[in-house]
């Protein structure tokens, strides 16, 4: 059974810092990996999707990498801003049928 772990569980940084969020998964036979953002009491916003054949994806200040063989992904956030404060969720699709397994998330707080 696929398990997704995210480290750290919580992170607090001052504005402007670059930071890295980690995601690991136990079964490397995945079709894709996604990073989502969730604001308190809200739904999910998709940030980046990495197909299993890709190594990284970039969107603005966000860069996600994928090392499928080692079962790891990182989300890099450059020049963090208070508006980046949210919970970041990592999810993998191990079935190819859009069935996602989520991690518990990293709660990020960026202080002004």
Partner 1 sequence: GAVVSQHPSRVICKSGTSVKIECRSLDFQATTMFWYRQFPKQSLMLMATSNEGSKATYEQGVEKDKFLINHASLTLSTLTVTSAHPEDSSFYICSASPGTSGGYNEQFFGPGTRLTVL
Determine if 103 is a binding residue for partner 1 (CB under 8 A). yes
String marking each residue 2-21 x if it binds partner 1 according to CB under 8 A: --x-----------------
String marking each residue 60-99 x if it binds partner 1 according to CB under 8 A: -----------------------------x-x-x--xxxx
Name which position in 43, 60, 83, 112 contacts partner 1 (CB under 8 A).
43
In sequence order, the 6+-apart residues with CB closer than 8 A to the CB of 84 are 77, 108, 110
**Lookup: tokens for 40:** 């308190």
Say if strands 106-111 and 10-14 run parallel, antiparallel, or are unpaired.
parallel
In sequence order, the 6+-apart residues with CB closer than 8 A to the CB of 98 are none
Closer CB to partner 1, residue 99 or residue 111?
Answer: 99
**Lookup: tokens for 112:** 């002004």
């Amino acid at each position: 059974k696929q398990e997704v772990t995210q480290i750290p569980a919580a992170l607090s940084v001052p504005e402007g810092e670059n930071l890295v969020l980690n995601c690991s998964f136990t079964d490397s036979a995945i079709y894709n990996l996604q990073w989502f953002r969730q604001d308190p009491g809200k739904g999910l916003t998709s940030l980046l999707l990495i197909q299993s054949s890709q190594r990284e994806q970039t969107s603005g200040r966000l860069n996600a990498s994928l090392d499928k063989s080692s079962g790891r992904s990182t989300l890099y956030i450059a020049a963090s801003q208070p508006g980046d404060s949210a919970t970041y969720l990592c999810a993998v699709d191990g079935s190819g049928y859009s069935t996602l397994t989520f991690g518990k998330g990293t709660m990020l707080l960026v202080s002004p």
